């Protein structure tokens, strides 16, 4: 299957590590021009260099952008459009919000999660849609969580913001489908990244067991018997963001090895 990604300009937010980085690598392997970004200039540059080396694609560039800052987002897309003249694919991704339940969160926590995990995705769409409409081609993928299908106890901010993201994406997909712009949401179940290691450490402390034991307990709940690999998540993203996907839009799917029971 020809994914039609050669020479497309792909912007992957929060891509110095984890799912964003794995996605950037798969796009690079397809011959796209890839923009890697994160809050930290050094880690974004290191990721871009590693991806260039692994993929053999020289067109991988690093930029700095904190998704919780409106000005950073504006600046990034200004630089990208000046330098590359088009934007074909946007992968919306950012760091996870603070963990905790209702009693742990004050207004500041709610506003911070809204800025970083929902408004950020709206702001990036505002930047790329004029290009995509002009080109009559665009693909937007929102990285979310399995909490879009089944809430996760102790992650009230994530559960709330991701639900909003799905409502936003579905509505936007209907508004822009006639312009050949597809908007989809992809949620990781349990994919082996730094974020999962962090959550496992926190769970280990709460439960008085080791992080390794938390991992084993998690794997026992996943019918596939293991965590997902970031590349497995990334390949799903790449298909949905490719020209080969010309009719799947407005969907919210999970990559989870059959972890969730929700239909």
Ligand X SMILES: NC(=O)c1ccc[n+]([C@@H]2O[C@H](COP(=O)([O-])OP(=O)(O)OC[C@H]3O[C@@H](n4cnc5c(N)ncnc54)[C@H](OP(=O)(O)O)[C@@H]3O)[C@@H](O)[C@H]2O)c1
Taking the least distance from each CB to ligand X, the nearer of 40 and 75 is: 40
| Closest separation in Å from C-beta 225 to ligand X | 16
| Closest separation in Å from C-beta 113 to ligand X | 10
| Closest separation in Å from C-beta 93 to ligand X | 6
Q: In what order do the strands lie in the sheet with 89-92?
A: 60-64, 33-38, 9-12, 89-92, 138-143, 181-188, 252-255
Q: How far apart are the first and last CA of the chain?
A: 29
Taking the least distance from each CB to ligand X, the nearer of 32 and 118 is: 118
Q: Which residues bind ligand X (CB under 6 A)?
A: 14-20, 38-40, 43, 65-68, 93-96, 116, 143, 145, 188, 190-191, 193-196
| Closest separation in Å from C-beta 124 to ligand X | 11
| Closest separation in Å from C-beta 49 to ligand X | 14
Find, among 141, 139, 131, the residue nearest to 165 by Cα. 141
Taking the least distance from each CB to ligand X, the nearer of 16 and 252 is: 16
Q: Residue 228, class by beta-carbon neighbours within 10 Å (0-12 exposed, 13-18 middle, 19+ buried)?
A: buried
Taking the least distance from each CB to ligand X, the nearer of 31 and 154 is: 154
Taking the least distance from each CB to ligand X, the nearer of 138 and 188 is: 188
Of all residues in the shown chain, the one whose CB is closest to ligand X is 18
């Amino acid at each position: 299957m020809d994914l039609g990604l050669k020479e497309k300009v792909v912007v992957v937010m929060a891509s110095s590590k984890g799912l964003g980085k794995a996605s950037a690598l798969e796009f690079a392997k397809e011959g796209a021009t890839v923009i890697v970004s994160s809050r930290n200039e050094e880690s974004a540059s290191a990721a871009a260099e590693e991806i260039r080396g692994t993929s053999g694609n020289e067109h991988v560039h690093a930029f700095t952008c904190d998704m919780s800052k409106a000005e950073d987002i504006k600046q990034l897309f200004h630089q990208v459009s000046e330098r590359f003249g088009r934007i074909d694919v946007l992968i919306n991704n950012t760091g996870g919000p603070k963990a905790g339940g209702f009693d742990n969160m004050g207004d500041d926590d709610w506003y911070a999660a809204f800025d970083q995990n929902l408004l950020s995705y709206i702001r990036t769409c505002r930047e790329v849609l004029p290009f995509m409409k002009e080109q009559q081609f665009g693909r937007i993928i929102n990285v979310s969580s399995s909490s879009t299908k089944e809430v996760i106890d102790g992650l009230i901010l994530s559960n709330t913001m991701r639900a909003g993201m799905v409502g936003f994406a579905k509505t936007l997909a209907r508004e822009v489908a006639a312009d050949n712009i597809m908007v989809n949401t992809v949620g990781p179940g349990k994919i082996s990244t730094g974020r999962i290691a962090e959550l496992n450490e926190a769970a280990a402390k709460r439960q008085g067991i080791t992080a390794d034991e938390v991992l084993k307990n998690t794997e026992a709940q996943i019918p596939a018997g293991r965590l997902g690999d970031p590349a497995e998540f990334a390949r799903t993203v790449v298909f949905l963001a490719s020209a080969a996907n010309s009719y799947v839009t407005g969907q919210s799917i999970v990559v989870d090895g059959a972890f969730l029971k929700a239909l």
